[in-house]
Structure 1
Amino acid sequence: MASIVFGGASGLAMLGLITLIHQSFTQQAAASNRLATLFGFACLAVLVLQVVSKCILTRLSQSTAARLQFELCNRIAAAPLPELEACGPHRLLGTLGGDVGAITNALSQFPTVCANAMVLISGLVYLASLSLPLAIGSVIMASLGIASYLGGLHWANYHLRQAREDRDEVRKQLQAMVFGIKELKGNNRRCVEFMYDVLLPADTAMRERLIKGTDILGAAHTWGRLSRFIGIGLLIFVWPRFWPVTSETLMGYTLTILYLTSPLDSILGWLPALNNANISLNKINALGLMIDPSKAIACGTQIPEFRSISLRNVSYAYRSPHSDQESFHLGPIDLLVMPGEVLFIAGGNGSGKTTLAKLLTGLYTPDQGELLLNKQVVDQAALGDYRQMFTTVFVEGHLFDRLLGIDANPMQLKRWASILGIEDKVDFETGHFRLGKLSRGQHKRLALLVACLDQRPVFVFDEWAAEQDPGFKEVFYRHIVPELTRNGRSVVAITHDDRYFFAADRVVELVDGKMVSSRRQRIAA
């Protein structure tokens, strides 16, 4: 509101300057000193008001961007994991980067648009005071020019909307290039085909759409500006032939209309930004991220008491994004996890082990069946707290560059780092990690270090030992797993290492989404 007030006052002060210039041509020289004094005060007012308005706008723009991005991040954090996985990281990053910026840009310009609208209204009132018929004619001419501009904007909008869709594909392929650079470097033919048959066509399609939309928009904007000068020409050369008007009035009209061109341009120039913001908002809605806050799952912080966790007749199905047909079905599954237990989940690739782990940890919601904690059904409202019971290390899990949400003293950090052989990758004073040039094994060991320090009631490890050398496999199964299960904690591990099944109390085997066996172990080795 303050920016609108200062911006409007600045516009009115500028309009006062135009009025004083007009009066200097029509009044006697005796009043010139008074007009010069008023002109100086008006210039000072314009300077101060515009500087203050721009400073306020800068702060408004940055605070709006920060608030909008933080709100969107909160919504992403609250969104169900399957929906986020269906969106893909390239779309989420595109939304957080481009779409948030487009919406913020439109919102930050709104106070300026309101201020310019006040200037336009005041200018029209001044024109009407000079000549009402001439003011009506000016409004009609301006309306025709604005209508033609809006028609061009509507035409350009189609291409710009398509360009926004194409940008997601480009971002997807750029992400593929960055994460697949080793594979591209190792096969020149693959690299050439990717660059020329995948990346370049996607980028070309996006830019062609963008160029068409921008060209149409530029032509419409140029015509809109030119139409106003055509209107001035009609006022000067045609209007006096049909309606008597003094030269002083025509001069006042010409000066005022020339000045009003700037605020009108600002308003019309805001419309493409508003259009882009609308496209971005529709994109966010299409991704399903504009979640009703009343339905969003709260990020729980309380760790419930752990007496038992069970999955009762649980089923989950993946569906094709282009149809409602199931591409993989897990279940029905009945599973019980007790305090102090070591449970191994075994099975071939694609048997549903990771899906079962995500259902167990509350990251997926069952299509059918029930998830129970301490024999009580976990509903949507309790799911946030339920997830706090687990420390997880997934195959493709992300590793942050520091300890987050864990109060670990340097001695604990140093002990676990020594056990895992990664002392050189940890800053023991700050809790930061040195992530440069990590092998996959070191990456997983750092992730395990974080999990061991977290000390939640249940640890879930997804193929942790798959990329470790035999020495660290021995340490993991013979020393780390038993230590983690002390004080009633449980370990659930997805593993192919049948030679270490002795470390488990129970082994569950999956085949094609079905549980085919559940047997007790703990055979000495």
Structure 2
Amino acid sequence: MKLFLVLIRSSWISGLVSGLLGALSGMMNLGLIMLIHHALTDDPSEAGSLPYLFAGACVMVLLTQVTAKYLLVQLSQATAARLRYELCTKIIAAPLPTLESVGPNRLLAALIGDVNAITAALSAFPAACANAMVLACGLVYLATLSLPLAGGTILMASIGVFSFLTGLRLANRHIRKAREDQDEVVKQLRAMIDGIKELKGNNMRCLDFVYDVLLPADTRMRHSLIVGSNIQGFAHSWGRLFLFIGIGLLLFLWPQISTVSTATLTGYVLTILYLTYPLDGILGWLPAMNAASVAVAKIETLGLMIDRPEQQSSVSAPTKFQSIELQGVTYRYDSMGDDCFALGPVDLTLCPGETLFIAGGNGSGKTTLAKLLTGLYVPDAGRLSWNGRDVTNKVRADYRQLFSTVFVEGHLFDRLLGIDATPGKLEHWISLLGMEDKVDVQTGRLLTGELSRGQHKRLALLVAALDDRPIFVFDEWAAEQDPEFKDTFYQQILPELNRSGKTVVAITHDDRYFSVATRVLMVTDGRLSDSDEKDVSVRKAA
């Protein structure tokens, strides 16, 4: 039922028209069989208009089939586009911690594999309706020839369909298992791509990954698919076989029981042989619908996990702020068990125009603090306020527009998005960051194909600078820069941002540049504290 609701939402008019045209085409095909039957059994002298009726039926079959297939293409593409759009919208609107818990591999599998499975099933749905109409009309025609024979045919067909559905239910268990295994395969394929340098640098690691991780995951998925497909194939063949058993009974057994004319038997055999085509179409569509139902259930499960969308923000970003305060803010990674890491309670006030450095050891909670400050994480307890007002779910998306961020794990798009910078400003930042050969000024394209980590972060800083938000947050930006650009960052870029009225929050280990900051805070085991003021003042004096 949920699968059909997807079809209705996509384009119920196209689906209905395509189904009706398919049904008309099927009826015309059945009409051809009836005309052939009459041509074979009637007196040739009474043929009369049969050739003209046959030609007209052929023209109608061609027109209805071409039109129905055209509408099916439109319908399938519209369905796929709508599904992808709805999923992308949900993903974009979902809270970041929820997306992190779902994992990119499951999101990608839903966006690609599940959408394709649903589209394939729905694109064939009108044709299945047409085949069902042909079967219904064919049975009516058989009933007009001989009601007892029609009853026997329906009985045999029912046994065959029931056998097929039983096999399909058994195969469904393996198909569902294969879909679960697919998430693991996608996960390991992404790991292979992301970690290709590490694999190339260690042959034993590469062999272990391929033979102990990737291939076993792929084998489990493949085994489930093979078993499920084989069961479906056997059930399909078994279901079709009952039609031919029925034909055999008609030809060899029924004449022994009751008198039946040769013309009636001929009509029955011709009609049943023709009806094997629409029945085969329906039986062949059911596995696709089964796979689509699994995909819908998978997407629905994903939707339940990301079904709490955040309030969307306005298009324009805030241009200024008076203060940002964190009061007793805490955050805990619940998914990691009882001994999970917890940040806080944190008390912090951020003022316009200041340059704040946050230092601390690896894993101390600096990046978590940055994500709380920028509104990407929601505090478990405490208060986050913006200009004296609490940052609630209603305003959180607007609050996030205050920040231009460069995170350690940040993604770099291959073009400037949502930015309308002047050519002079673009060229200034390109020159300052040494990115002349990585940016196409005319088109705004970023050449992201072959970048070192340092160049990646420089391009990310370029995008953040052009974004021109009131607050800049840099997460270990200088950690992978050479000494020249590290010095440029602390001695030129940060002072320039400060002179233009921007507030800067930089997570850093570079204590030799602490004198650049207005103040320095330390994060130790999830707790925030002031840095040693005497130590900082000595560095400033130096």
Q: Is the 8 A contact 1:75 1:289 kept in 2?
A: no
Give the counterpart letter for 1:411 in structure 2: G
Alpha carbons of 1:471 and 1:377: their partners in 2 closer, same or farther (altered >3 Å)? same
Q: C-alpha separation between the residues in 1 aligned to 2:213 and 2:306?
A: 34
Give the counterpart letter for 2:72 in structure 1: L
Match for residue 315 of structure 2?
301
Match for residue 203 of structure 1?
218
Q: How far 1:463 moved relative to its partner?
A: 0.3
Q: How far 1:53 moved relative to its partner?
A: 0.9
Match for residue 45 of structure 1?
60
Q: How far 1:234 moved relative to its partner?
A: 1.4
Matched, 1:248 2:263: yes
SS in 1 for 2:464: helix
Q: How far 1:392 moved relative to its partner?
A: 0.7
Matched, 1:35 2:50: yes
Match for residue 103 of structure 1?
118
Q: Is the 8 A contact 1:319 1:326 kept in 2?
A: no
Q: Comparing 299-308 with 203-212, which one deviates more in the overlay?
A: 299-308
Give the counterpart letter for 1:330 in structure 2: L
Q: C-alpha separation between the residues in 2 aligned to 1:362 and 1:453?
A: 21
1:453-472 superposed matches below 5 A: 453-472=466-485
SS in 1 for 2:421: coil
Per-residue CA deviation, residues 23-61 of structure 1 (Å, 9 max, x unaligned), is: 112322123241011101111111111111111111211
Q: How far 1:136 moved relative to its partner?
A: 1.8
SS in 2 for 1:381: coil
Q: Is the 8 A contact 1:72 1:289 kept in 2?
A: no
Provide TM-score, normalisation by structure 2: 0.93
Q: Is the 8 A contact 1:301 1:388 kept in 2?
A: no
Q: C-alpha separation between the residues in 1 aligned to 2:442 and 2:430?
A: 13
**Of residues 207, 228, 240 in structure 2, which corresponds to 1:225?**
240
Q: C-alpha separation between the residues in 2 aligned to 1:55 and 1:335?
A: 62
Q: How far 1:290 moved relative to its partner?
A: 6.9
SS in 2 for 1:311: strand
Q: How far 1:524 moved relative to its partner?
A: 5.1
SS in 1 for 2:321: coil
Q: How far 1:133 moved relative to its partner?
A: 2.1
Q: Is the 8 A contact 2:94 2:307 kept in 1?
A: no
Match for residue 7 of structure 2?
none
Give the counterpart letter for 2:496 in structure 1: E
Matched, 1:126 2:154: no
SS in 1 for 2:141: helix
Q: C-alpha separation between the residues in 2 aligned to 1:192 and 1:389?
A: 47
Match for residue 482 of structure 1?
495
Q: Is the 8 A contact 2:118 2:295 kept in 1?
A: yes
Give the counterpart letter for 1:238 in structure 2: L
Q: C-alpha separation between the residues in 1 aligned to 2:498 and 2:159?
A: 78
SS in 2 for 1:424: coil
Q: Is the 8 A contact 2:19 2:126 kept in 1?
A: yes
SS in 2 for 1:400: coil
Q: Comparing 396-405 with 130-139, which one deviates more in the overlay?
A: 130-139
Q: How far 1:326 moved relative to its partner?
A: 4.7
Match for residue 393 of structure 1?
406
Match for residue 154 of structure 2?
139
Matched, 1:506 2:519: yes
Q: Is the 8 A contact 2:90 2:307 kept in 1?
A: no
Q: Comparing 251-260 with 513-522, which one deviates more in the overlay?
A: 513-522
Q: Structure 1: any 5+ residue segments left out of the alignment?
A: none
Q: How far 1:360 moved relative to its partner?
A: 1.0
Q: C-alpha separation between the residues in 1 aligned to 2:398 and 2:260?
A: 78
Q: C-alpha separation between the residues in 2 aligned to 1:161 and 1:399?
A: 35
Match for residue 361 of structure 1?
374
SS in 2 for 1:320: helix
Provide TM-score, normalisation by structure 1: 0.96
Per-residue CA deviation, residues 122-141 of structure 1 (Å, 9 max, x unaligned), is: 11221222222222221111
Q: How far 1:286 moved relative to its partner?
A: 2.8
Q: How far 1:244 moved relative to its partner?
A: 3.2
Per-residue CA deviation, residues 312-332 of structure 1 (Å, 9 max, x unaligned), is: 2111111236xx535211111
SS in 2 for 1:435: coil
Q: C-alpha separation between the residues in 2 aligned to 1:426 and 1:303?
A: 25
Q: Comparing 247-256 with 419-428, which one deviates more in the overlay?
A: 247-256
**Of residues 158, 168, 181 in structure 2, which corresponds to 1:153?**
168
Q: Comparing 275-284 with 13-22, which one deviates more in the overlay?
A: 275-284
Q: Comparing 300-309 with 276-285, which one deviates more in the overlay?
A: 300-309
Alpha carbons of 1:4 and 1:524: their partners in 2 closer, same or farther (altered >3 Å)? farther
Q: How far 1:414 moved relative to its partner?
A: 1.1
Alpha carbons of 1:258 and 1:282: their partners in 2 closer, same or farther (altered >3 Å)? same
**Of residues 96, 112, 134 in structure 1, which corresponds to 2:127?**
112
Q: C-alpha separation between the residues in 1 aligned to 2:43 and 2:265?
A: 19
Give the counterpart letter for 1:303 in structure 2: A
Q: How many residues align?
A: 522
Alpha carbons of 1:515 and 1:279: their partners in 2 closer, same or farther (altered >3 Å)? same
Q: How far 1:245 moved relative to its partner?
A: 2.5
Give the counterpart letter for 1:483 in structure 2: E
Q: C-alpha separation between the residues in 2 aligned to 1:255 and 1:390?
A: 73
Q: Is the 8 A contact 1:81 1:364 kept in 2?
A: yes
Q: How far 1:19 moved relative to its partner?
A: 0.8
Match for residue 9 of structure 2?
none
Question: Aligned Cα RMSD in Å?
Answer: 1.8
Give the counterpart letter for 2:266 in structure 1: M
Match for residue 318 of structure 1?
333
Q: Is the 8 A contact 1:311 1:371 kept in 2?
A: yes
Q: C-alpha separation between the residues in 1 aligned to 2:268 and 2:95?
A: 60
Match for residue 174 of structure 1?
189
Give the counterpart letter for 2:451 in structure 1: L
Q: Structure 2: any 5+ residue segments left out of the alignment?
A: 1-15
Match for residue 13 of structure 1?
28
Q: Is the 8 A contact 2:98 2:306 kept in 1?
A: no
Q: C-alpha separation between the residues in 2 aligned to 1:289 and 1:299?
A: 23
Match for residue 194 of structure 1?
209
